[in-house]
Amino acid sequence: MIDSIRSALLTDLYQLTMLQGYVQHGMEGTAVFEFFVRRLPPQRRFLVAAGVEQVLTFLEGLRFTPEELEWLDGTGRFQPQFLDYLSRLRFTGDVDALPEGTVFFADEPVLRVTAPLPQAQLVESRLINLLHLQILVASKAARCVLAGPDKLLVDFGLRRAHGAEAALLAARAGYLAGLAGTATVAAGLLFDIPLYGTMAHSFVEAHEDELLAFEHFAYANPGSVVLLLDTYDTEAAARKAARLAPRLRSRGIALKGVRIDSGDLAEHARRVRRILDEAGLGELSIFASGGIDEHLIAEHRRQGVPIDGYGVGTLLDTSADAPYLDCAYKLMEYGGRPRRKRSEGKATWPGRKQVWRRRDEAGLLLGDAVALEEEGGEGEALLRPAMRGGHRVEAPEPLEALRRRAARELEALPPPLRELAPGEGGYPVTISPGLQALARELDERTA
């Protein structure tokens, strides 16, 4: 059995056949690859860097196991000298990256790998796989946070995330971007993310009586009683919750809230709020779930709907309105010479780059410049050393620190970038004169 999270075989076949070519022809010089997003989806005005930590862990542990090498041998595609090379392969290169939680835009390198060509090439597939997913989810979660900064937002997406790793990394990316926590228990253990949960319809249905179900749940979980109201009739269930509250209180159990999961959430929330308030339960919060995204949260906020928190599931974890990014990991330099792909609609900016960001006095983002590393620039240099010679430059930042950075970044967004409607935020990202000149020069050379 291979380790399906860490395996070096989490790569495309062509990486291995290309490596065989590089190794056979002694092409082990230093290569520079950069990961970037070509174009933002129309549904996103900015993106949030995430997933760097998982990339570093993958690179640190990169090796082919004897079982994997034997299996590769059995495919008949690889020569013994090459398999021997693979058995010794480790990642010995450098990584520079945007710190997780940093806001970024199209054409800006998010992560750069500087390593012997075969190493830098091999890791392309998994590296994109890890960054792409977490950027997707962190960016979507950030929009939910912008839509409801005062709401308790919880990731409910495990069931419809695309597989287990997607669910776990979505919980991480969502928390990093500012959600309050997740319902996914394993993510609590893996990443120390706060866990939230209520109860399901099946719990109510398994009892002959809804009120009895509420009582049973409360007695079993006295510290966190959130009752689900919409199994049969939402308002009737709210009245049962109101009747139950004093009885529970007399046993030292405090109801924390209720959840609504179907129908017109706004209308039900208003009615339930009234029922609870009239019963003197103003402190009980109303939590909603089912088809939640940033647009619904924003609409509820505009209407003053009395919903205190949301379970954001499917539409967040699958980034349903933009389920993929046009991103790439491209060769920018090899053997000391810059490289440029000119494929139609997919041309790349060559060379080792840095992103420079300018801010106003209040810290608000003013504009970015992408420049060749040696050009320098104005403002803050965003790409920072993350790995040197295959070793991390520093211990992993705690997730809480990444979360604080993301919160600061969201606060620094100029108003047009905070809009949720599709469209560009008009944020200026300029390409430096040196970079433009180099691209022209390379085009002339290879024309």
Query: Exactly one of 40, 133, 244, 269 binds a second copy (CB under 8 A); which one?
Result: 133
Q: Which of 36, 40, 46, 38 is nearest to 143 (CA)?
A: 46
16 touches a second copy (CB under 8 A): yes
Look at the alpha carbons of 386, 390, 393, 395 in this order and tell me if their dihedral is positive or negative. positive
- Alpha carbon 240 to chain centroid, angstroms: 40
Phi, psi (rounded to 5 degrees) for 332: -110, -20
Residue 312 in contact with a second copy, rule: CB under 8 A: no
Task: Compute the least distance from the CB of residue 232 to a second copy, in Å.
Answer: 5
Q: Which residues pair with 154 in a beta bridge?
A: 181, 311
Enumerate residues 6+ apart whose C-beta is below 8 A from 133.
51, 166, 169, 170, 173
Candidate residues 53, 96, 230, 368; the one interacting with a second copy per rule CB under 8 A: 230
Q: Exposed, middle or buried by CB within 10 Å (0-12, 13-18, 19+), for 157? A: buried
Distance CA 343, CA 347 (A): 5
- Looking only at Cα atoms, what is the longest distance across the chain? 83
Nearest residue (CB) to a second copy, 372 versus 382: 372
Q: Choose between 117 and 417: whose C-beta lies nearer to a second copy.
A: 117
Which of 7, 102, 139, 432 binds a second copy (CB under 8 A)? It is 7
CB 411, min distance to a second copy, A: 29
Is the alpha carbon torsion for 437, 443, 446, 447 positive or negative?
negative
Burial class (CB in 10 A: 0-12, 13-18, 19+), 235: middle
Interface of this chain with a second copy, residues 153 to 212, rule: CB under 8 A: 156, 158-170, 183-186, 188-190, 195-203, 205-207
Residue among 38, 63, 216, 418 that touches a second copy (CB under 8 A): 216
Among 143, 300, 340, 357, binds a second copy (CB under 8 A): 340
Q: Which is nearer to a second copy, 200 or 437 (CB)?
A: 200
**Closer by beta carbon to a second copy, 205 or else 299:** 205
Length of the chain, in residues: 447
261 lies in the binding site for a second copy (CB under 8 A): yes
217 scored as a contact of a second copy (CB under 8 A): yes
Q: Give yes or no for residue 267 binding a second copy (CB under 8 A).
A: no
Q: Is 422 in the site for a second copy (CB under 8 A)?
A: no
What DSSP element (H or E) covers 217?
helix 210-220
Considering the complex, state which of residue 1 and residue 362 has its C-beta at the smaller distance from a second copy. 1
Find out whether 241 and 271 touch, Cβ atoms under 8 Å.
no
Please state, in angstroms and rounded to a whole number, the distance separating the CA atoms of residues 65 and 88. 10
Contact window for a second copy (CB under 8 A) among 15-23, 245-253, 365-373, 394-402: 15-23
The yes or no reply on residue 285 touching a second copy (CB under 8 A) is no
Which class for 26: exposed (0-12), middle (13-18), buried (19 or more C-beta within 10 A)? exposed
Site string for a second copy, 76-115 (x = CB under 8 A): xx--------------------------------------
Give whichever of 94 and 293 is closer to a second copy, judged by the CB atom: 293
Which C-beta is closer to a second copy: that of 23 or that of 52? 23
| 334 touching a second copy, by CB under 8 A | yes
CB of 221 to a second copy, least distance (A): 5
Distances (CA, A) of 284 to 6, 210, 254: 44, 19, 9
Q: Which is nearer to a second copy, 209 or 278 (CB)?
A: 209
Q: Quick check: 117 binds a second copy (CB under 8 A)?
A: yes
